[in-house]
Amino acid sequence: MKYRKTAFACGLLLAAALAAGPAFCADWVIPQTTYYITARQQSFPDFPAPPAAGSQQDQADLAVLKEWQLKRTPEECARANAGAHADYDKFFGDISPFAEPLPEAAAVIFKRIKQESDGAAAEIKKRFKRQRPFLRDASLEPCLGRIGGLAYPSGHATISRVLALVLADLVPEHRDDFLVRADQAALDRVVGGVHHPSDIEAGKLLADRLYKAFKKSKKFKRDMQTLKALLPEAAPGGR
């Protein structure tokens, strides 16, 4: 009987999440993992707040989004949509230094890094509760769809930069290539109309802080050693 009650309650929770729409679901399905660093280490209590609503910087954010809405091309929207799931292959597949297909052990590590970075970003989003730009200005129409979740900091900007920093440490001679690709993945969220420019900058800042903390983790150091061992003998930084 206890199991049935629990299952019934879980079913009601799922139904409520689906009925509430994408905004609820987007927050609900991003757990904060603590494989590398603790929740406290991920909290960054001094993390800067987003621009105040109506401030000069906030208005500048919205102006940039309106400019992109006027000039973006179908090809740019298609590229932004291709990276919507924020995974390693979508961001770096064509310049990956690993063999193709990506070794399973590497895929597991990159997924772990993505989840922990995404969870950390989600927790800070909950702190500031900045809405998506199209919810704040009715003239904005995103070509990535009216997705759920909160805006600040950008999870895509965080994840792509953390992964780029990993690759940069593994193959330092191609550091610039990886960071440029991460910057493009982050900008695509502005082009697509789902993030303010300041969300992107905050995501990059969070990535730098997370990566610095990750590098002190014994588990992260082990994973980096595993990734190094999986690189081809002469990793070209592209394939």
The Cα–Cα gap between 234 and 60 comes to 45
pTM for the model stands at 0.86
The type of residue at 36 is Y
CB atoms within 10 A of CB 237: 16
| Structural domain count of the chain | 1
Q: What is the DSSP code string of 16-77? A: HHHHH-HHHHHHHT-----SSS-HHHHH-TTPPPPPPTTSHHHHHHHHHHHHHHHH--HHHH
The Cα–Cα gap between 229 and 189 comes to 33
Q: What is the CATH number of the domain that holds 159?
A: 1.20.144.10
pLDDT for 130-175, tens place per residue? 999 999 999 999 999 999 999 999 999 999 999 999 999 999 999 9
In a domain? residue 48: yes
More confident residue, 15 or 66: 66
Q: Residue 233: what pLDDT? A: 74
In a domain? residue 183: yes
Domain containing 155: what range?
Answer: 22-230
pLDDT for 16-37, tens place per residue? 333 334 433 444 468 999 999 9
In a domain? residue 43: yes
